Amino acid sequence: MVGPSDIFAASILIVDDQDANVLLLENLLARAGYTSVTATRDPLEVCALHRTHHYGLIMLDLRMPGMDGFKVMEDLKKIEPDGYLPVLVITAEPDHKLRALAAGARDFISKPFDLAEVLARVHNMLEVRLLHLETKNLYDKLVAEHQRLIDLSALPGAMVGVVKDEQAAMPWYQSLWLRHRWLQLNLIMAFIAAAVVGLFQETIDRLLILTMFLPVLAGQSGNTGSQALAITLRGVFLGELELGKQKALVMKEALLGLLNGALVGAVAAICMYVVAVVKHLPNAFMLSVVVFLAMIGSCVISGACGAVMPLVLKKLGADPVIASSIFLTTATNVASMGLLLGLAALLVK
């Protein structure tokens, strides 16, 4: 809210070719407590001064040599983006009052000056001007926030290769071009994950029960990474992640992956133990340990990757929204499958 201190600190420009009027108004305003009062006797300087200082109030005489106050107001309209002129006209001619108001002036004072009236009108004009600016700033913030919400609403589609520029009415061949390239990249990443499984074909043949838990680990670690990815993308989009905060976020998501992985891994390990016992497998306990450790490791890796991936892609100049999910899926699949099969190959004989 606008308070008295804001009003008395507001900048005021006095424009009058008469030295006596300028000195009188300067002294009057200074004694009243206004701390930012300047003056010019040249109307040709007004627009340049206002463009630089953005005055809260311009006290403008209408009758001046070279350029009258009406011409000054015409030029001020060209540099005021919303057309609001913070002008208090000074005139000794009653007929000029209505013309000045029609030209954009907000109020007027008459010559000879009534000092009490001058102070009252200056105070009221500044209060209205500051409230106008405050309202405009609030409106601009609301518009910017609305745009951020629109952009955020496009994130789910962008994360699967639907770019925000694609519209429902777009021709099919344009949509095909915008989407298919990301599907090809996703296919390549899927082959990488499949290659990891192929490396442990002998272990799978020996411990076929592990195939039951491959999608479990991939799903849980994928969800962990997606949560971290969503938080990081939101921070990147809103500009909340400075360098120090980036490192802290990665550490936080890795810790959350460790804790969530341990809790979920304990349940998964119990399920593995029960299934192995029912199937009369000799290494039921060790299989449950493998599932527990693999779940923890894959959740830690996926949480850290979910936080790191958008930051790395942004630094490389790529769009973190569109590309992050593809690389994250590959990382989580490789981590979950590789850890489960690799630990089984090492620990279960």
Average the pLDDT over 157-185 and give the result.
61
Average the pLDDT over 59-83 and give the result.
84
* Per-residue confidence band for 269, with pLDDT thresholds at 50, 70 and 90: very high
Average the pLDDT over 301-315 and give the result.
85
| Percent of the chain with pLDDT strictly greater than 70 | 86
User: What are the chain's domains?
Assistant: 4-150 (3.40.50.2300), 172-347 (1.10.357.20)
Compare 122 and 190 and report the one with higher pLDDT. Answer: 122
Whether pLDDT at 305 is above 80: yes
pLDDT at 168: 57
Whether pLDDT at 175 is above 60: yes
CA 51 from chain center: how many Å?
29
* pTM of the shown model: 0.52
309-320 pLDDT, tens digit per residue, is 888 877 877 666
pLDDT at 293: 94
Compare 176 and 16 and report the one with higher pLDDT. Answer: 16
Average the pLDDT over 194-198 and give the result.
76
